[in-house]
Structures are given as structure tokens and as C-alpha cells.
Structure 1
């Protein structure tokens, strides 16, 4: 294995999940893929993939080669992209994963503008209601909002973002204003399902005082736009990101509740796989995002 081609070939098999899918991805016949894999295993004198009729399973040696090899390939590509950048421009493909609502409203316009400024970069944006549960190594950047679970990913803060409890004036006219977090347990609530989180446990603080409230959601959805619309229609109380409800609050469609209590912040962060050896296109896009959302993000202007 004297160049990166063999590693890229093995990574394509892992990403595809089957030899047939890898063949389509690589533009080869299934028999050619099988033959090349056999030649690679013979060259290394070790089995890399256990092949059955139903699925592929990488051996420990195969997994080690993929994990360490992916790092080497990325560093290799980064080196040549940096050289290309010095010669006059950013090149390559940037793969980004982001939440549905934030991706549509704020990230998609930023990506389009960035690509227009850097026409030699191709950007592939994937929107998901569970970006952290996707196959993360398929992406250069994963945009996440809120606390980050234990992870080996590296996070970069893009923008500040608070979370507000809100309801429509019509609902408050029927049920009254809650005077404490505990009162929320008796009100109709709406929750957003994402990243397999415990979305019905709402937490608040006031100074050193902490409160946790278990709400009973009568409505739930994996799309933030839907639950915000339901809230504006007076169907329930929501706990939602500032970026999503700031305009509705400003225009009176929603009213912010329990302003003396603070829900945990949910800053917008961009996740990458490493601190060093980041491709130039990835590094420049991160800097572009930070510049676009600072010093004040759009929802605070």
C-alpha cells in the first residue's frame, strides 16, 4: 500500500455498506470490486472484510486501516488543497449536515453565498432531524444546537442562542400566565423530537435555584417549524430556540413566559473531526460562518 488509492477504495466500501453499492459508487463491476479487495488483502497478508451473503463486517484490522487511513487521507488532501489555495483559490467538496429548521432558515443562505464567493468549491448540504445520529464521518462539518454529548468531535462556537418558553396570546387568555416552572406541568405543551433527547424534561434556573419540570406533550413533531406554527395557533406552550421564535415574539404572535427563569442556552456550534490538518475549504467556511453570525446573530439584531 504505497499510495492513498487503496485506503480510499476501502473507505468507499465501508461507506457504501456492500460490495454492490461500492461498485456503483466507484463505477466498477461488482466482480472488479471483489477482485481488488482480494488483491489488497493478499498484498497485506491479512483479511480486512468478512463477506457474507447478507452483509459486510470489517475485521479489527480492516477497521484500524479505515480509521487511521481516513486521517491520513484527510491530511494528504489537506496538504494539496493548501498548495492549491496558495496558487489562487479554494477547491474541493464540502459536506455539511445540519438541523432541519436552522439549516433551512439560516445555514442554506450562508452556504449559497459562500459558494458564490468560492466557485471552485462544491457544497453538499444534508438536513436532518437527528444530525448527531447520522454517520458523522460522512461529513466535514456537522452543525449542532445545544449541549454536545460526550464525543471525540471538536466544536467551534458559531453563534449565541438562548431558549425561551413561549405561548400564543390566545392560549394565555384561556389558561392564564404560569407563575412558576412547576405550573407548566398542568398546561398543554408541545415538544420537538430530535437527537433522541429527553425532550419532555424542561430545566430552569434562577440564580442558584434549579427546577426540572416534566411536561405532558399533547403534540410533538420532529420539525421545529411545525411546533412553532402550532404554538402560534394557540395549541400549546413550547420551549424553543431564540433563533426560531425571536421574530414571532417581536411581532406579538408569541409571548415569552417565565422571564425570571432561564432555560439552558443552546449555542450554535460547528463540529469537525480534528483541530489540526483541517482542509483549507473547511477552515475558511468555519471562519466565514463565525464572521456572518458575529458580533450579533440575525435573531438579536
Structure 2
């Protein structure tokens, strides 16, 4: 039984369309239709009920789908085990990641990882929107925030504080807030994800919660642009400490209200299913954990 046919069958079951599944797998609709017929002939079972308007699984197809998924996962795990035994990690990483973190930290880290593992290849999507794993052909995504879909396979890379930051030029011109309520009088730089603008900033001090609605003259759906605006003295931003750690250490950005803490945000590596949890993904997970921990270490004071 051809494993490509099994993969196609599961993809058709997910998409509900032979044409869409064929496109995702780089096949023609005719080739995909022939493969499905071949599988049904081998099983002597009709897997789908076809009509001019829809394609849906038969009861036998639903029953077989469970075993088909298990078989494909087992095969992938077997391949991964062989690679691990050989000490080689190869294959393609189809990865998406946030814009600011990706461009400035993760891409150089992955370059370093691929030098150590030259049989790896990379297809990269960078952007702050959530990738569609199937439509965007992404196998693994690096994201801030835990996945809402419990069916996803997720590994937490780190838990990271968020910090309120501005440039020395901004604070010299407009002053530095001494209390969260004073943020209302400042020009705040707003990050937007989809239709949601993150214009309410939460923090806590000594058990007292502060939830401050902020406003400003700039809003963007690209987190790197928000950081650049802050660097240029355009206003105050609320960012993951990981994104701005180097600029805080160098003094190019200042941390404001340091005695007020934010709720940490998780950095997660997410796969749509266990099939995507390859040795390359596990290598990436461990590599990122080490790099993030190293990045967030306090900068030592010079010896006097």
C-alpha cells in the first residue's frame, strides 16, 4: 500500500476536496483522483461519498482514517528514530515566526544551527499574523502565547516578561512616567494583531493590579516597526523583554516603571499534529531553549 496514497487520503479527509488536497501535495486533480481510486480498490471499500456539491467520508472511511493516521505517525517516528541512531538530522523545516523576534534573533540562530547540521533545509514565513498550517504549508510555528487549539502539539520554549520601554530621547523630551496611570498622558505605540489592537497594558505591583488603556498616534501590525518607532523616540512601547534585551543592555532603550511587573508571555513552538514533530523540530526546540536562556542572562558588571 502506497504511503503517498495514505497521506493523500488523510489530506482529502481534512480538506473535503480532492482538488485542494492535490494542490497542497503538488499533484494534479486527475492524479489525486486516480490515487484515491487505487486505494479504494486495494481496500475493496468506498472511502468517500461523492456528489457534485460535496465530498464526505463514508462510515468505513471514518473508521479507516483513524488507523491511517496512526500508521503514518508510526512511520514518521520510525524514520526519526533511524536518523537519531545515525546521529544525523536532516530534512526540511517549514517554519513561521514573529517579525521582530524572527528577523533580529531567531534567523541568525537558525543559521548557526544549519551550519552545524548541513543536511537541514529551511522554508521560512515571517510575520506576526497566525499562519494557516495547511494553506501556508507550514509544519511548525514559533508563537507568543499558548495555542488555543488543544489538538495542536506545543512545546514551551520560554516564559518571558514584557517590559515598558522608550528611548532616552523620548524621556528627555517628554519625561518618564512614575506611575502606570501616567501612561495615559504619553504617546504610546500600539501593536495590532489582526483586528485586535493591544491598547490596554496590564501590570502589577505588590499584589495591586493596574489595567491601563493607552492611546497614541501610531499603530502597526508589525512588532518590529513598533520597536523601531520606540528606538526613534516616537513614543512608549510594551514589548517582550526578549525582543529588546540587547537595546536595554546597550542603553539605546530604557525600561520604564521597572518596579511594576507584567504577566509573562509564553514563547511556544507549535505543530499541527505529531507527524510534524520530526528530529529537526525537536532539535530546533532544544536549540531555541538554549539560545533564549543565554539571551536573557543578565549582563555582568565590568570588574573595577
Common fold: TM-score over 0.5 = yes
Name the CA distance, whole Å, in 1 between partners of 2:203 and 2:84.
47
Partner of 2:288: 289
Unaligned runs of 5+ in 1: none
Question: Any idea what SS the aligned residue of 1:235 has?
Answer: coil
1:47 is the counterpart of 2:48: yes
Name the CA distance, whole Å, in 1 between partners of 2:218 and 2:280.
41
Structure 2 length-normalised TM = 0.79
Unaligned runs of 5+ in 2: 300-304
Query: Are the aligned partners of 1:136 and 1:142 in contact in 2 as well (CA < 8 Å)?
Result: no
Q: 1:299 Cα shift?
A: 6.9
Query: Superposed, which structure 2 residues align to 1:66-145 within 5 Å?
Result: 69-131=68-130, 133-135=131-133, 138-145=137-144
Query: Are the aligned partners of 2:230 and 2:237 in contact in 1 as well (CA < 8 Å)?
Result: yes
Structure 2 vs 1, CA of residues 66 and 291 (structure 1 numbering), >3 Å: closer, same or farther?
farther
Name the CA distance, whole Å, in 1 between partners of 2:242 and 2:74.
35
Q: 1:34 Cα shift?
A: 2.6
Question: Any idea what SS the aligned residue of 1:293 has?
Answer: helix
Name the CA distance, whole Å, in 2 between partners of 1:252 and 1:216.
25
Structure 2 vs 1, CA of residues 265 and 64 (structure 1 numbering), >3 Å: closer, same or farther?
farther
Structure 2 vs 1, CA of residues 275 and 84 (structure 1 numbering), >3 Å: closer, same or farther?
closer
Moved more, 41-50 or 153-162: 41-50
Name the CA distance, whole Å, in 2 between partners of 1:45 and 1:18.
16
Q: 1:32 Cα shift?
A: 2.9
Structure 2 vs 1, CA of residues 245 and 282 (structure 1 numbering), >3 Å: closer, same or farther?
closer
Structure 1 length-normalised TM = 0.80
Q: CA RMSD in A?
A: 3.4
Q: 1:110 Cα shift?
A: 2.0
Partner of 2:255: 256
Query: Superposed, which structure 2 residues align to 1:8-19 within 5 Å?
Result: 8-13=7-12, 19=18
Deviations 1:228-252 (A, max 9, x none): 1212222221101112222333333
Name the CA distance, whole Å, in 2 between partners of 1:60 and 1:190.
53
Partner of 1:177: 176
